[in-house]
């Protein structure tokens, strides 16, 4: 079978709640738009190609058809949890799926990027509505170098440009959903504290020189509540959200 994320390739690999139902399209505007609000928690939308893939802050997400994992999961976190933390929950799951696929260490660049060798291989987008959060994850799997966006703010990579291996995406997606379910359940029960070891040990910005809102500083660490502690002009600050540029 050609590499595909069709239900017949993916569903046999799924062992948990996530991915039920599994909503699949060859092409769609964005998987973020495919999940009806009435679906159960854990419903997942996947496609081969997006015509309007979404990043954060109105930016786009690009991947040639059939090369990437593009998925969205419907979640209903309890009101006591800060849904902004879900970017880190999703990032940790994506980092682990990437590590399992490649055997390489992946890091989390706060708040939503997954990095290997200082390049972005995956991105996470949490969009909240009244009744649910749609957690979108894009993982660059089989793109060639020339198929990655040329104008990205952070240098991009795919698993293929990283280690030269072309992979079946179904296994990467199934691993991702399994890890996401496990981490989401732990977060829902105990908060980010339950995932802190996995997140803290992969903290890409820790100790790195940064630019925050035009000012130079350095990253201290992602704290236990999922905020980024930075030091700018000798003062420690906690960031809730934002866009961090780093020195290569």
The strand pair at 215-222 and 22-28 is best described as unpaired
Residue 222: name the closest of 87, 118, 101, 106 by CA.
87
Element (H, E) at 197: helix 196-200
Grouping H, G, I as helix, E, B as strand and the rest as coil, residue 105 is: coil
Task: Choose, by CB under 6 A, the member of 19, 136, 219, 226 that binds ligand BT5.
Answer: 136
Task: Choose, by CB under 6 A, the member of 9, 14, 23, 63 that binds ligand BT5.
Answer: 63
* Contact track, ligand BT5, 191-230, x by CB under 6 A: ----------------------------------------
55 counts as binding ligand BT5 under rule CB under 6 A: yes
Per CB under 6 A, the segment of 3-11, 67-75, 93-101, 184-192 that binds ligand BT5 is: 67-75
- For ligand BT5, give the closer residue by CB, 56 or 202: 56
Residue 173: name the closest of 26, 61, 6, 2 by CA.
6
* Pair 97, 139: CB distance under 8 Å: yes
Chain residues that interact with ligand BT5, rule: CB under 6 A: 30-32, 50, 53-57, 59-63, 70-72, 112-113, 120, 123-125, 136-138, 140, 149, 152-153, 156
């Amino acid at each position: 079978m050609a590499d595909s994320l069709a239900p017949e390739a993916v569903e046999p690999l799924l062992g948990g709640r996530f991915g039920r139902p599994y909503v699949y399209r060859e092409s769609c505007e964005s998987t973020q738009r495919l999940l009806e609000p009435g679906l159960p928690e854990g419903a997942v939308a996947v496609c081969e190609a997006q015509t309007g893939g979404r990043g954060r802050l109105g930016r786009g997400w690009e991947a040639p058809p059939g090369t990437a994992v593009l998925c969205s999961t419907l979640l209903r976190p309890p009101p006591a949890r800060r849904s902004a933390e879900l970017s880190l929950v999703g990032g940790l799951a994506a980092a682990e799926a990437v590590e399992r696929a490649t055997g390489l260490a992946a890091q989390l660049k706060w708040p939503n990027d997954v990095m290997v060798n200082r390049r972005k291989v995956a991105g996470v987008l949490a969009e909240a509505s009244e009744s649910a959060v749609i957690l979108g994850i894009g993982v660059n799997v089989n793109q060639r170098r020339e198929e990655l966006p040329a104008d990205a703010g952070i240098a991009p990579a795919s698993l293929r440009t990283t280690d030269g291996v072309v992979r079946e995406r179904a296994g990467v997606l199934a691993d991702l959903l399994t890890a996401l379910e496990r981490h989401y359940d732990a977060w829902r029960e105990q908060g980010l504290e339950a995932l802190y070891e996995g997140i803290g040990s992969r903290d890409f910005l820790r100790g790195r020189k940064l630019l925050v809102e035009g000012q130079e500083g350095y990253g201290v660490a992602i704290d236990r509540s999922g905020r980024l502690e930075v030091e700018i002009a000798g003062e420690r600050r906690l960031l809730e959200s934002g866009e961090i540029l780093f020195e290569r």
